[in-house]
Structure 1
Amino acid sequence: MKLLFKQRAFTWFDSYDIYDENENTVYVVKGQLSWGHCLKIFDANEAHELGTVKQEVLTWRPRFELYEGEACIGHLEKEWSWFKPKYNIDFNGWHVEGDFAEWDYTITGPDGRTVATVSKEIFHWTDTYILDIADPDDALYVLMFVLAIDAEKCSRN
């Protein structure tokens, strides 16, 4: 399953539209006023809140809490590394590693299988990513991790 993750331009808070391969809106992401990043994920009609990515503040390394509905399902924390960005995910034993330019990422499971690959599209006005997800049931979770990584990069820059 492939998703196109596209940031909206000219908004007060972070806002994204997530499309499927047929250019149908699958998710809508809206930033909320908070201390640190707080991103709410809604269905295509914006009728139901599906998840939240919330930055923890006052931590040594960037760390994000991930919620499905009201339940905290895990965390994403940036690991210290020299050349390639790495993130530890406290969810299903997943791990994220990026390339030197921080444009492409691979999410792997505890058994080493690829859960998803994420590629940043360059030459776009706003942040745009292609998410190639092995299991469609993991789409919301992969989206949460990509949002957290994008927010972490935004906080650094």
Structure 2
Amino acid sequence: MRLYIKQKVWSFKDRFTIKDDVERDVYYVEGEMLTFAKKLRLFDQQNEEQLYIEQKLWRFFPEYDLYQDGQQVATVKKDFELFKNNYTILGPDWHIEGSVMAHDYVIKEGNKVIADINKKWLSWGDAYEIIIHDEKSVSVLLGVVIVIDAVISQARNGQSAT
């Protein structure tokens, strides 16, 4: 499965459209306005919530919880490393390899690649290609990519990520 995330450049709140390989809208993400912590919701095309993402406040490094049907399914934490941009994913037994800062990385479960993520560089607004090899966790995989993009965007814009 191949999906594409495209951020809207001029939007008062976070908004992503997620398309398939024939450019059909498959999911969309909307953020809540006027909150201290970043809160995002992933919806399918039937407007059913697939994932809720909430930033934890007062952390030294960014940390987000991911929920499905009111149950926490994962936590994504930025790791402390001087010249690297690594993350820990708690919940599923996943790890990230590659250059997260350049958005060219893979998410693995053990030695098995479950997703490849690549940033499109010549794009108006951030755009990503996600190749999903294990379709059983699509929503959570998308959530991990969205969290990593949010952390990088906050750092790029000089906003506090705590």
- Structure 1 stretch displaced more, 90-99 or 15-24: 90-99
Question: Any idea what SS the aligned residue of 1:81 has?
Answer: coil
Is 1:108–1:116's contact at 8 Å kept on the other side of the alignment? yes
Could you state the TM-score of these two structures normalised by the residue count of structure 1?
Answer: 0.92
Instruction: For residue 40 of structure 1, give the secondary structure of its aligned residue in structure 2.
Output: strand
Match of 1:10, SS state, is coil
- Structure 1 gap segments, 5+ residues each: none
Which deviates the most, 77-86 or 55-64? 77-86
Identity of matched residues, %: 28
Question: Partner amino acid for 1:128?
Answer: A
For 1:20 and 1:95, the matched residues in 2 are separated by: 25
Contact 1:84 1:98 survives alignment (8 Å): no
Query: Which one-letter code corresponds to 1:117 in the other structure?
Result: D
d(CA) in 2 for partners of 1:73, 1:101: 24
- Look up the SS of the partner of 1:35 in the other structure: coil
Structure 2 Cα separation of the partners of residues 101 and 122 of structure 1: 13
Q: Which ranges in structure 2 are unaligned for 5 or more consecutive residues?
A: 157-162
More deviation, 96-105/117-126: 96-105
Per the alignment, residue 49 of structure 2 pairs with 49
Residue 99 (str. 1) matches residue 99 (str. 2): yes
* Deviant stretches of 4+, over 6 Å: none
Quote how far apart the aligned CAs of 1:36 are.
Answer: 2.2
Contact 2:96 / 2:106 at 8 angstroms: preserved in 1?
Answer: yes
TM-score normalised over the length of structure 2 = 0.90
Q: What secondary structure, in the 3-state scheme, does the structure 2 residue paired with 1:140 have?
A: helix
RMSD over aligned Cα, in angstroms?
1.4
Corresponding residue pairs, total: 155
Asked if 1 retains the 8 angstrom alpha-carbon contact of 2:61 and 2:79, the reply is yes
Alignment of 1:28-39 (within 5 A): 28-33=28-33, 34-39=35-40
In the TM superposition, 1:8-157 aligns within 5 A as 8-33=8-33, 34-45=35-46, 47-99=47-99, 101-109=101-109, 111-157=110-156
